[in-house]
């Protein structure tokens, strides 16, 4: 309760943030009333990207352990929808998909997050491939098929389902940033040795954060699966989706919650535009943009803002210390 109070009403900044977030969610909620029938589909995919990027940041952005498992959790969600979607309503399947993603991530975390360094990244990359190939083998061997049909829902239904995931996620992120748990993750990211020696249970914190970050990916995977209509292992476990959240978060900047959101929006809109207008040159232009961003804005778009503020503050502080001496 205390936490909710400080996170949402603690300062003027947090109140403004709360109002802004609620306003944005309300506008999004009402938007299908004013848009053509294609737009909800576009927005659903856009929000799915935002969810992937923001949820990735919960764990990897804070701790610096780069996860390449987004495709694994997203794909699991899609496949779960394909398996159960015919008989069970989408929202229920989404909750189940989130739970499965949480459980799988928790298991993977327990095994790999005791290790530091690059092993975790390699393992998570392998996880997506492992699931892809295993499911393909099972499908071919036992069901003599490669893919499955997924029950289609209206664009609007999918949009609202994804929007709810986004709404829950954004409140969780705000709460986490103000909580002991979020602070523990910050400590781990900045110096894990020190974090451990001041009493942070680093392994448990990392495992739990990784599991929490996996759940939304599973949920939106299930929702987006219905808008594709057909799922096979190559579509569900598209490795590009493991790298996209990383790129989007770097693009936007990871220091604030808005970085990955803005990064994902720009990324998706740019990708969508380039794919439509310059289908042949899309990857080349896209790659060039990425290189430029990483070269000139290593901390992302929001990193530039941070830098400007920090520069001002440092000049100011420099003067103060000079006076004292």
Partner 1 sequence: MSNNVLIQGIGLTKRFGGMTAVNCVDFELRDGEILGLIGPNGAGKSTLFNLISGFIPTDSGETAFLGKKITGLTPNKVCHLGLGRTFQAAKNFPDMSLRENVRMGALFGVPDQTYAKAETETDEIIAYIGLGKYAGTAVPDIPLAGQKQIEVARALATKPKVLLLDELMAGLNPAEVDEAMALVKKIRGTGVTVLLIEHVMKAIMNICDRIIVLHHGALIAEGTPEQIGSNKEVIEIYLGEV
Catalog residues that contact partner 1 under the rule CB under 8 A: 2, 180, 183-184, 186-187, 190-191, 193-203, 310, 314, 317, 320-321, 324
Least spacing, CB of residue 192 vs partner 1, in Å: 9
Q: How far is the CB of 51 from partner 1 (least distance, A)?
A: 26
Nearest by Cα to 84 from 245, 259, 218, 279? 218
Measured distance CA(14)–CA(61) in Å, rounded: 21
Cβ neighbours of 180 (radius 10 Å): 11
Q: What is the smallest separation between the CB atom of 189 and partner 1, expressed in angstroms?
A: 8
Q: Of the two residues 242 and 256, which places its CB atom closer to partner 1 in the complex?
A: 256
Nearer residue to partner 1 within complex by CB, 2 or 276: 2
User: Nearest CA to 109 among 195, 209, 19, 13?
Assistant: 209
Concatenated DSSP letters of 157-190: HHHHHHHHHHHHHHHHHHHHHHSHHHHHHHHHHH
Output 287 or 318, the one with its CB closest to partner 1: 318
Of 297, 290, 302, which is closest to residue 246 (Cα–Cα)?
290
CB atoms within 10 A of CB 303: 19
* CB closer to partner 1, 91 vs 189: 189
Q: In this complex, which beta carbon is closest to partner 1, that of residue 279 or of residue 321?
A: 321
Rounded CA Rg of the chain: 21
| Minimum separation from the CB atom of position 210 to partner 1 (A) | 18
Beta bridge partners of 148: 231
CA distance 225 to 235: 9
CA atoms of 66 and 59, how far apart (whole Å): 8
Q: Smallest gap, in angstroms, from Cβ of residue 230 to partner 1?
A: 45
CB of 287 to partner 1, least distance (A): 30
Smallest CA-to-CA distance from 63 within 212, 172, 169 is with: 212
In the bound state with partner 1, the residue whose beta carbon lies nearer, of 272 and 299, is 299
Q: Which helix (H) or strand (E) holds 200?
A: none
Smallest gap from Cβ 196 to partner 1, in A, equals 4
The phi, psi pair for 173, rounded to 5°, reads -65, -45
Q: How far is the CB of 118 from partner 1 (least distance, A)?
A: 20
Q: Which of residues 69 and 200 has its CB atom nearest to partner 1 in the complex?
A: 200
Q: By C-beta, is 240 or 320 nearer to partner 1?
A: 320
CB 68 within 8 A of CB 219: no
CA max distance for the chain: 79
């Amino acid at each position: 309760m205390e936490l909710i109070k400080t996170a949402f009403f603690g300062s003027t900044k947090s109140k403004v943030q709360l109002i802004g977030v609620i306003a944005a969610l309300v506008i999004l909620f009402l938007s299908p009333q004013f848009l053509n029938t294609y737009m909800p589909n576009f927005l659903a995919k856009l929000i799915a990207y935002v969810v992937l990027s923001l949820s990735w940041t919960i764990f990897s952005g804070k701790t610096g352990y780069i996860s390449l498992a987004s495709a694994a959790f997203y794909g699991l969600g899609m496949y779960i929808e394909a398996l159960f979607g015919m008989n069970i309503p989408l929202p229920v399947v989404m909750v189940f998909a989130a739970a499965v993603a949480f459980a799988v991530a928790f298991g993977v975390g327990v095994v790999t997050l005791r290790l530091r360094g690059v092993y975790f990244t390699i393992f998570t990359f392998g996880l997506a491939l492992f699931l892809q190939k295993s499911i393909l083998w099972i499908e071919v061997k036992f069901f003599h098929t490669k893919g499955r049909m997924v029950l289609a829902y209206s664009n609007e239904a999918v949009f609202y389902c994804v929007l709810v995931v986004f709404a829950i996620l954004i409140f969780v992120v705000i709460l986490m940033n103000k909580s002991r748990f979020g602070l523990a993750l910050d400590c781990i990211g900045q110096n894990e040795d020190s974090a451990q020696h001041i009493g942070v249970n680093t392994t448990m914190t990392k495992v739990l954060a990784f599991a929490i970050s996996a759940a939304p990916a599973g949920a939106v995977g299930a929702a987006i699966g219905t808008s594709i209509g057909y799922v096979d292992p190559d579509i569900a476990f598209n490795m590009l989706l493991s790298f996209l959240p990383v790129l989007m978060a770097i693009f936007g900047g990871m220091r604030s919650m808005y970085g990955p959101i803005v990064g994902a929006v720009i990324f998706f809109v740019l990708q969508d535009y380039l794919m439509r207008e310059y289908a042949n040159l899309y990857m080349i232009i896209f790659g060039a943009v990425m290189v430029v961003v990483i070269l000139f804005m290593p901390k992302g778009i929001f990193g530039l803002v941070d830098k400007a503020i920090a520069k001002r503050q440092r000049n100011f502080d420099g003067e103060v210390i000079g006076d004292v001496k």
